[in-house]
Amino acid sequence: MSGAPAESTKDPLAIGIGSLGAGIGFGSAVMSAAQIITAILRDYRTTDPVTDPASKALTAGLLLAIGLGGGLAWYRSFPLDNIWQRGVIAVLGALGALLVGFLGAPMYRWINIPGLAAWVLIGVIIGILGNRWAIRGRGAEGL
């Protein structure tokens, strides 16, 4: 016996934190991608993309970030037995996606579009790592 924990047991903490990381990571990446699209439209169009009804990229990105962050956190936390915990993880995933996405906004002032693109890449990496952590936390029982 090596003393390592068995891989067949479910780890609720890993599932919860991994689900939260996946929701926040991918949701904030969508929010930052919407900021990139809005910045490109603002720089290369004659009308203001924020007030122009034809282009509402920032609003769509905000709604997608809420939906993706909360939905993915809810989906990945499915192996948890307590629905209350799943709901809290989903709400925190949606709000965290918005907060981290909004933290990427100063990147446009400092490094312009490459800074926002790096912020999107960081969000995707965090989302992938959180997703893997949540899957690994399911153990052999959750497969």
Six-digit token string for 125: 């990496």
Q: 3-state class of 122 per DSSP?
A: helix
Q: What's the rounded mean pLDDT across residues 62-70?
A: 95
C-alpha angle with apex 53: 51 to 56, nearest 5 degrees? Answer: 80
Alpha-carbon distance of 33 to 115, in angstroms, equals 11
Within 13 A of 141's CA, how many CA atoms are on the CB side? 13
Under 8 Å between Cβ of 86 and 79: no
Confidence of residue 141 (pLDDT cuts 50, 70, 90): low
82-121 pLDDT, tens digit each: 999 999 999 999 999 999 988 888 877 778 888 899 999 9
Above pLDDT 90, what percent of the chain? Answer: 55
Nearest 5°: CA angle at 115, between 112 and 116?
90
Q: Closest Cα to residue 131, out of 76, 80, 90?
A: 76
Q: Alpha-carbon torsion 75, 125, 103, 111, what sign?
A: negative
- C-alpha–C-alpha distance, residues 139 and 143, integer Å: 7
